[in-house]
Chains A and B, each alone.
Chain A
Amino acid sequence: MTYQEEKLFFDQQMQCTITGHDGVIKETDANIFSWKVSTSIYDAHPFFEIIKGFLEIFEQEETTYNFPCIHLEEGKLEKICDVTIKINTKEVVILLFDYSSKYHELNKIAQQKNESVLRAKELELKNKFLIDKEKFKNSFIANINHEIRTPLTSILGFIEVLQKTNLNFEQEELARIIKRQSLHLNSLIEDMVDISKIESGKIKIVEERFLFVNLMEGFQETYSKLAEDRGLAFETYIDPNIQEYLIGDRTRVFQIINNVLNNAFKFTEEGKVSLSVTKNFQRTNKLSVSFKIEDTGLGIHEEDLENIFDRFTRFNRDKQISGTGLGLAIVKDLVDLLNGEIKVTSEPDKGTTFDIKLPFKFEISKAKPEKKKKKYSLPESKKKFRILVVEDEESTQFLIMKILISHGSFFVDVAMNGEQAISYMERRNYDLVLMDLELSKIDGYKATHMIRKNYGDKAIAEVPIIGFTARATEAERDKCLRSGMDDFIAKPFEQEDLLYKIVKQIAKKAAS
C-alpha cells in the first residue's frame, strides 16, 4: 500500500507529512496536528529527533521504520499514534495513524491488570512488615520479662524474709499488700509471655498421660476453699465415665480451666460457681470432654460478648477487681491450639456460662499410679553444708544468703562470676553450687562445663550444681542439664522450692 493509498484508507485518522533531510516540512495535510510547512519537524515533538540518527546511517535505499503506540502532543492535544517513517534519497515521509481510542481502551485493561498485581505486592510487603514488627515485639517482651523477673525475685524473696521478722499489725498488712501486688505483677508477666509464646508459635503442645481425676480434684480443693472464704457455693460434677488417666497437655488444660474458674470467682459476689465435666463423645481411643463453668456473677452485655476474647478487654470498670485483660485471650488461644472449642453465653446480673470442649486420648491398657514428689532430708554426716552462690546481682546474692543462712544448715560463700567461682572451688570444698547463668567473663554454662571437665579432683568435678535464671523456659532447662548441671530453678522462686532442690541434690550426692 502506498502512502497515498494509506491516506485514503485511514482518511481523517491519518496524517501524512513530508520533510527534507534537513527536517523542514515540505508538505502536510494537518489532519491530526496543525504543523506548518517550512517549520522543522524536530520542533514539532522530541520523538522526531530520532530521524536525525536514521539519516546519519542512511545509505541510498528506501528504509522504513515503524513505531507503534507513540504518545504525541501539540499544546493540549494528545494523541496516541502508530508512526511510520520512510526515508529515501530525496525526502522523509512521516505517516501518523491515530489509534488513540483503541489504545485508551487497552490502557484501561492494562491499568486494571497491573494495579491488581501491584496491590497484591503491596499487601505482601505490608504483611512482611507486620510479621517483622510482631517478631520484634515478641523478642522485646521476652527480654523485658527477663529484666523484670530479676528484681521481682528479690522483692518477693525479701517480702517472705520480712514477713518472718517481728512486725506490728500495720507493717504486716503493708508487707501483705506488697506481696499481693508483686504476685500480680508476676502473673501479668507470665500472661504476657504466654501470649507472645502463643503468637510466635513457641508453645508446643505436649501429649502426656496424666491422672485426669487428680487434676479435677485439685480444682475442687482449691476453689472450695476460695468459695468458703468468699461466702459462695462451689458445685462440681465429674462424669464417672471419663477415664481416670487421659493423654493430653495437662499444663495447658489446667491453665484453661483455672483461668476461667478464676474469672468466674472474680466476678461473682453472691450465689455460686459450678464446674461440670462430662464426656462429650468417645471414639476408639479418642474422646471429647466438655467443661461447663457457670457463675451467678455480674454477667456480660450482649454487645460485649463478641469482644470477650480480645486482649486487654475488661468490661467491668470496677477497679477493685484486678486483672490484666489477658486471661481469656490466653484461654481462647490455648483452646484453639488444642483444637478445642469455647463458647460463652451470658446475661447481665444473672451470670455467665463458659462451655469448653477439649479433645483427649486415652490408653486402652491398665492405668499405673502417678509418682509422688519424693521427700529428701540433709545427711546427718555434717551439721552444716557449704554452698557457693555464683551471682553478680547484689540483691539476689543478699536474698539467697538470707534464705540459706536463716535455714540454719548452710554456710554461704558468694562469687561474682564464673572465673571467681572456679578459683574459690580450687581453694575450698563445697557441698553445692548455685550458679546464675548470665554472668560476666565466664557464664554459668561455661563455668559448669569447666568444673565438670577440667578437674581430676572429685570434690570439685562432681559437686552438685543448680542453675538459676530469669529465663524460665524448657529450652533453658535443657541447656542447663546438657551443660552438666544437676537441676534448674527459675526466678522468681519460692523459698521452699529452692530449699527442696538444694536438699535433694545434697542428699542424692551423699547417697551416691
Chain B
Amino acid sequence: MTLSKKVVLLGHFGVGKTSLFRRFVDNEFSEDYKVTLGVQIKKKVVEMPDGRELSMIIWDTEGHTDIEDTRKSYLLGSNAFIYVFDLTRIDTYKDLTKDLEYLAKNHPKVIIKTIGNKLDLVSEKEIQKKFDELNITVDCLTSAKTNKNVQNFFTDLSIEITS
C-alpha cells in the first residue's frame, strides 16, 4: 500500500518555492519568475530505500513576508513544512527563528525543515558567516537551478516523514 503524506512549502515570495517544487516533481527549471497565487498541489511518488512507496502531496503556497499571513486552511493535515528562504535576500531569513517558533507552537506534530535556496548565487563560506551572525542553523542549502541538493533533501525528508 502506498503511504500518503502532505508537505507544505512556505516562505517569502520569490525565494524559489515553485522552482524547488517543479525541480523535484517534474525535474524542470525556468528563470522566469511567475507569482504563485493561492496554492498549487502536485503529487510525487517516491520510492523509499526500504522498497515502500510514498506518495508525497506537495502544496506550493503563495509567498508571504509574514508567516502568520499564510492561510490557515493550507496548513491543515500537514505532515511536514518546508520553510524556504532566498540566500541572496537577508530579509527572507532574518526572522527565521521567530517564524519557526510560530510554526512549532501552532503545529507541534508537524516536521519542520528549512531550506536556503539559490545557492548558485552565493558563496557557502560567506553565507555560513551570515548564519553565524544571526545565530541560525539551516537544514539544507539548495539550488533549484542547478538541482544541487534538491533530490537528496526530499529523499531524506521522505525517510523522516515515514519513520
A68 within 8 A of B: yes
Tell me the minimal C-beta distance from A460 to chain B in angstroms.
47
Which among A53, A70, A71 is the interface contact of B77 at CB below 8 angstroms?
Answer: A53
A321 contacts the other chain (CB 8 A): no
Residues of A within 8 A of B77 (CB): 50, 53-54
Known A-B contacts A49-B4, A50-B6, A54-B77; the reply to A80 vs B38 at CB < 8 A is yes
Q: Which residue of B is nearest A112, CB measured?
A: B35
CA distance A111 to B39 in the complex (A): 15
Interface residues of A (CB under 8 A from B): 45-47, 49-50, 52-54, 65-71, 80, 103, 106-107, 110-111, 114-115, 117-118, 121, 125
Interface residues of A, dominant DSSP: helix
5 A-B pairs (CB sep. < 8 Å): A71-B39, A103-B37, A110-B37, A114-B63, A121-B89
Beyond the given A71-B39, A121-B88, please list 8 additional residue pairs across the A-B interface where CB-CB is below 8 A: A50-B57, A53-B77, A54-B77, A67-B39, A69-B62, A80-B38, A110-B37, A111-B34
Find the A residue at minimum CB distance from B86.
A121
B58-88 to A contact mask, C-beta < 8 Å, 1/0: 0000110000000101101100000000001
CB distance from B126 to the nearest CB of A (A): 10
B: which residues have CB within 8 A of A?
Answer: 4, 6, 13-14, 33-35, 37-43, 55, 57, 62-63, 71, 73-74, 76-77, 88-89, 121
B14 cross-chain contacts in A, Cβ below 8 A: 114, 117-118, 121
B33 touches A114 (CB 8 A): yes
CB <8 Å contact, A118 and B73: no
Query: Nearest-CB distance from B72 to chain A (Å)?
Result: 10
Instruction: Note all chain A residues with C-beta closer than 8 A to B4.
Output: 49, 52
Q: Are A80 and B37 in contact (CB under 8 A)?
A: yes
Contact partners of A117 in chain B: CB under 8 A: 13-14
How far is it, in angstroms, between the C-alpha of A68 and the C-alpha of B76 when the chains are bound?
13
Which 4 residue pairs spanning A and B have beta carbons closest together? A69-B38, A53-B77, A46-B43, A71-B40
- Interchain nearest-CB distance for B158 vs A (Å): 16
Chain A residues lying within 8 Å of B88, measured Cβ to Cβ, are 121, 125
Asked if residues A118 and B33 are in contact (CB atoms below 8 Å), the reply is yes
Residues of A within 8 A of B43 (CB): 46, 49
Question: Are A70's CB and B41's CB within 8 A?
Answer: yes
Query: A121 to chain B: closest CB distance in Å?
Result: 5
Q: Considering the chains assembled together, what is the distance between the CA atoms of A259 and B4 in angstroms?
A: 77
Say whether B73 contacts A67, CB under 8 Å.
Answer: yes
Q: Are B38 and A114 in contact (CB under 8 A)?
A: no
Counting chain A CB atoms within 10 Å of each CB, the highest count among B38, B71, B88 belongs to B38
Chain B contacts of A107 at CB under 8 A?
35, 37
Looking at B14, B35, B62, B73, which has the most chain A CB atoms within 10 Å of its CB? B35
CB nearest neighbor in B for A121:
B89
Inter-chain contact B39/A70, CB cutoff 8 Å = yes
Complex Cα spacing A80 to B35, Å: 14
A71-B74 contact given A52-B4, A117-B14, A121-B88, CB 8 Å threshold = no
Chain A residues with Cβ below 8 Å from B38 are 68-71, 80, 103
Does A68 contact B13, Cβ atoms closer than 8 Å? Answer: no
State the CA gap A114–B6 with chains docked (Å).
27
- State how many angstroms separate the Cβ of A397 from the closest Cβ of chain B: 41
Once the chains bind, are A45 and B41 in contact (CB under 8 Å)? yes
CA gap between A54 and B62 in the complex, in Å: 23
Q: Give the distance in Å from the alpha carbon of A52 to the alpha carbon of B2 in the complex.
A: 14
Chain A residues positioned under 8 Å from B35 (CB to CB):
107, 110-111, 114-115
The answer to whether B89 and A49 have CB atoms under 8 Å apart is: no
A53 touches B6 (CB 8 A): yes
List the A side residues contacting B62 at CB < 8 Å: 69, 110
- Find out whether the CB atom of A67 lies under 8 angstroms from the CB atom of B37: no
B74 adjacent to A67 (CB under 8 Å) = yes
Which residues of A sit under 8 angstroms from B42, Cβ to Cβ? Answer: 46
Determine the distance from Cα of A53 to Cα of B41 in the docked complex, in whole angstroms.
16
Chain B residues with CB under 8 Å of A54's CB are: 76-77
